[in-house]
């Protein structure tokens, strides 16, 4: 089989997976907005209970729509791909806090850039425990990975993303990128 065709097929599969996740997220957001609107239009007791349940999610969606989300420009993506493709074949895991649309969107963007650069994304994780802060966290499982983490830190800094590095000998991945929720460190 032609290796160029296989690469194209693999890239399409990766983009299809990420596109499916994004569409699923958009669908959930639309559904929550619909339920909130429906609860707002009615004065029944059951819908009042639903409205109380839906208000935090609807507010979060409204804030997300109004906020300036962390994301990359086309130029930043090109720069990152160029640099990351030099370590093609390396592996990484990416994690974001479950339920944080903004952080998970940035994590999906990072996932796409790494996959498009030839990296192997071992896992895309949704963390149950919420981590917050402004800096993306690079977690390595031993000191031998610190040089790679330093190179990635410089790359992220060149596109305006603050980074901190941590050693976590308990994690099963050599390198994990954790995208925290925006806000003060918890």
CB 112 within 8 A of CB 152: no
Phi, psi (rounded to 5 degrees) for 96: -140, 160
Residues in the chain: 186
Query: What's the start-to-end Cα distance of the chain, in Å?
Result: 51
Query: Of the CATH numbers 3.40.50, 3.30.70, 2.40.50, 1.10.260, which one belongs to the domain with range 74-178?
Result: 3.30.70
For the chain, the structural domain boundaries read 3-66, 74-178
What region does 159 belong to: left with phi over 0, alpha with psi -120 to 50, or beta? alpha
- Is 0.85 surpassed by the pTM of this model? no
Residue-wise pLDDT tens for the chain (186 aa)? 444 444 444 555 666 666 666 666 666 666 666 655 555 555 455 455 555 655 665 555 555 544 456 788 889 999 999 999 999 999 999 999 988 888 888 999 999 999 999 999 999 999 888 888 889 999 999 999 999 999 999 999 999 999 999 999 999 999 999 999 886 655
Q: By three-state DSSP, how is residue 70 classified?
A: coil
Sorted by sequence, the CB contacts under 8 Å of residue 107 that are 6+ apart come out as 94, 95, 96, 124, 177, 179
What is the rounded distance in angstroms from the CA atom of residue 81 to the CA atom of residue 30?
A: 32
Phi, psi (rounded to 5 degrees) for 20: -60, -45
């Amino acid at each position: 089989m032609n290796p160029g065709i296989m690469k194209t097929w693999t890239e399409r599969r990766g983009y299809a997976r990420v596109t499916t996740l994004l569409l699923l997220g958009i669908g959930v957001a639309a559904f929550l907005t619909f339920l909130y609107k429906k609860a707002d239009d009615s004065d029944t007791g059951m819908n009042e209970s639903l409205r109380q349940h839906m208000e935090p999610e609807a507010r979060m969606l409204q804030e997300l729509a109004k906020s300036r989300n962390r994301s990359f420009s086309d130029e930043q993506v090109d720069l990152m791909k160029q640099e990351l493709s030099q370590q093609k074949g390396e592996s990484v895991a990416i994690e974001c806090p479950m339920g944080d649309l903004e952080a998970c969107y940035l994590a999906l963007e990072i996932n796409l850039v790494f996959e498009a650069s030839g990296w192997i994304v071992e896992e895309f994780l949704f963390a149950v425990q919420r981590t917050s802060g402004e800096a993306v966290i690079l977690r390595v499982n031993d000191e031998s990975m610190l040089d790679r983490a330093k190179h990635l830190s410089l790359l992220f800094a060149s596109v305006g993303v603050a980074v901190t590095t941590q050693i976590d000998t308990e994690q099963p991945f050599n390198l994990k990128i954790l995208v925290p929720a925006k806000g003060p460190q918890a």
